Amino acid sequence: MEMIQAEELVYEYEKRDDEGNVVGMHRAVDGVDIDVRPGQFVAILGHNGSGKSTLAKHMNAILVPTGGTMWVNGRDTKDPNELMNVRQSAGMVFQNPDNQIIGTVVEEDVGFGPENLGVPTDEIWKRVEDSLRAVGMLEYRKNSPNKLSGGQKQRVAIAGVIAMEPQCIVLDEPTAMLDPNGRKEVLRTVHELRKRKNVTVILITHYMEEVVDADWVYVMDSGHVVMRGTPRQIFSQVDELKKYHLDVPQVTMLAEELRKRGMDIPKGILHREELVEYIMKAQKKDA
């Protein structure tokens, strides 16, 4: 069974005038099909306003479709009886860590989720410890979240989500407000989590570098999925991506430049080491 499945998903927001009267509808997601299998790392790319957040909010029933269907762990999110199950299956991490952290002490904050689920107290403490360890924040358990860096706060927010033991974690531009170090920290944490807990990860981002290790990539534009494939397939299509106002990772761009100038390098290079190998080979051939 798929972990996340959308079929012909449509979501329309109401457009309102200054007085608050509904003056029309705006279709933010327009007939989207996606499939995410358990344990996969799937990335969703798209420039501002392409509908990524609206789609993400369907994955734990913050929004329910106005057309089509979203299943989370096999459950239709439109069914009110499944709400708890859906919310427990897929945890969400948002852009701004300040809006997600409510506790005044780190460990208390991480414990809120399981507490709300009615988890017994000693089990809560076990989960808090385990989750903080998984994101590398255990030594900060007694700290006040206010004093942490953006990256650390975001890792606490992630710990708060995994303490609820979801099978799937949806991260909606979790690094958008972070400096380069914070971004690296959070990304490393997400990858560690996948390895240790085998959770399904859905990462919404517009940083191309964050996508190279994904199993599958969806590109969105104007509410539609316009490209889908492995990172290599997606980043081989530099011109197509430009059409959707997206770049390719720097290393892919550099490889593309060299390829255009006649060096024997294939399309869709994703890793620096790969590029170095090809350059070395090309040099040897010339020598």
Ligand X SMILES: Nc1ncnc2c1ncn2[C@@H]1O[C@H](COP(=O)(O)OP(=O)(O)OP(=O)(O)O)[C@@H](O)[C@H]1O
Task: Name the residues that contact ligand X, by CB under 6 A.
Answer: 13, 26, 28, 46, 48-54
- What's the CA gap between 274 and 203, in Å, rounded? 24
**Which CB, 52 or 141, lies closer to ligand X?**
52
**Which CB, 11 or 216, lies closer to ligand X?**
11
| Nearest partner of 65 among 4, 1, 8, judged by Cα | 8
Element of type H or E holding 168: strand 168-172
Tokens describing residue 122: 């000693």
Hey, CA dihedral for 132, 134, 136, 138, is it positive or negative?
positive
**Which CB, 13 or 278, lies closer to ligand X?**
13
Q: What is the radius of gyration, based on Cα positions, of the chain?
A: 21
CB of 101 to ligand X, least distance (A): 20
CB of 21 to ligand X, least distance (A): 14
**Which CB, 41 or 218, lies closer to ligand X?**
218
CB of 28 to ligand X, least distance (A): 3
Alpha carbon 168 to chain centroid, angstroms: 11
**Which CB, 27 or 184, lies closer to ligand X?**
27
CB of 245 to ligand X, least distance (A): 11
* DSSP 8-state assignment for residue 49: T
- Assess contact for 22 and 59: CB atoms under 8 A: no
CB of 16 to ligand X, least distance (A): 8
